[in-house]
Amino acid sequence: MTTATKTRLARVFIDGEAGTTGLEIRERLAGVEGIEVRSIDPTKRKDRTARAEMLRDVELVVLCLPDDAARETVALADELGPDAPKIVDASTAHRVADGWVYGFAEMSRGHADIIRSARRVANPGCYPTGGIALLRPLVDAGIIEPDHPITVNAVSGYSGGGRTMIEAYEAGHAPSFELYGLGLEHKHVPELQTYSGLSRRPIFVPSVGNFRQGMLVSVPLHLDTLPGRPCLRDIELVLDEHYRGSEFVSVAADSSARVSRLEAEALNGTDKLELFVFGKSALNQAVLVARLDNLGKGAAGAAVQNIKLMLGLG
């Protein structure tokens, strides 16, 4: 009997696999050695007993569900005690909840190891992934104080907006571009503030464009209001040091000299995240930008990264 025959595949159940994120995760997992994706009979997907049996039979479940449904599945898993699987929750239900690990592996030094040992991981939101990637290293380094007034602006492809928005754009019934979340209470703000290390609530202004996927997240800064009055290079060096050696996150060198414009779709189909520092030190102004695929590093790509860490495959 070969070693390959003896090796048992890690079983994963995607609860909500028919949705946009679920489909993306399943497609990515198909190429991961050592994982077997299990599916429940569609006629039994709301059958509590069948769902409990599926949870008991797998090592890990991924929740691609609305928040309330995700909480229900977690409650069902709680009833299984030691037979409960590990959980990666792609909803917003548990991103700042006690007992859950935030699933942005590059957030801080050693955080990937915390994910490896976790049983419950909350997958990050797409917008916060970009904002936290830019802000957390600068807050940790003291370049931005936790109570500094921060504004985060972002644009995403329509695939991040859920079934109703996707259907409206694909049917040609949606505008070319629109701002939303103008009540300043977008559901991503709590995780954006918490994991960026900010004590003051940031202003977050999201928008959506008439393209399927891709994302730009930007943070404008007045450099002369920051401790030590840093220059662009100071900020770039902190980011570069934080992400050096990362498989997925990179920092563009000397962005202002090399890049005059950015388009949102350049990283589509990848799990990459690119960071840029634009501006002019003579003007004491900067704009930090993160670019990613909202379905990649902003959703399914991050989920697969967390799954592999939690199952000892990455």
- From first to last of its 314 residues, the chain has per-residue pLDDT tens of 344 445 689 999 999 998 889 999 999 999 899 999 999 988 888 889 999 999 999 999 999 999 999 999 999 999 999 999 999 999 999 999 999 999 999 999 999 999 999 999 999 999 999 999 999 999 999 999 999 999 999 999 999 887 888 889 989 988 999 999 999 999 999 999 999 999 999 999 999 999 999 999 999 999 999 999 999 999 999 999 999 999 999 999 988 888 889 999 999 999 999 999 999 989 999 999 999 999 999 999 999 999 999 999 97
Question: Dihedral of the CA atoms 169, 175, 176, 179 (nearest 10)?
Answer: -110
What are the structural domain ranges in the chain? 3-124+299-310, 126-294
**Residue from 262, 277, 263, 274 nearest 220 by CA:** 277
CA distance 150 to 168: 32
**Residue from 145, 131, 118 nearest 222 by CA:** 145
Which ranges constitute the DSSP H helices of 2-104? 3-6, 20-29, 48-57, 67-78
Instruction: Classify domain 126-294 by CATH architecture.
Output: 2-Layer Sandwich (3.30)
Which ranges constitute the DSSP H helices of 210-285? 232-243, 255-258
Burial of 261 per CB tally in 10 Å (0-12, 13-18, 19+): exposed
Beta bridge partners of 120: 87
Residue matched to tokens 């489909």: 23
Measured at the alpha carbon of residue 223, what is the angle toward residues 292 and 209, in degrees to the nearest 5? 30
CATH domain 3-124+299-310 topology: Rossmann fold (3.40.50)
Catalytically active residues are: 126
Count each helix (H run) and each strand (E run) in the chain, helices first: 11, 13
- Give the pTM: 0.93
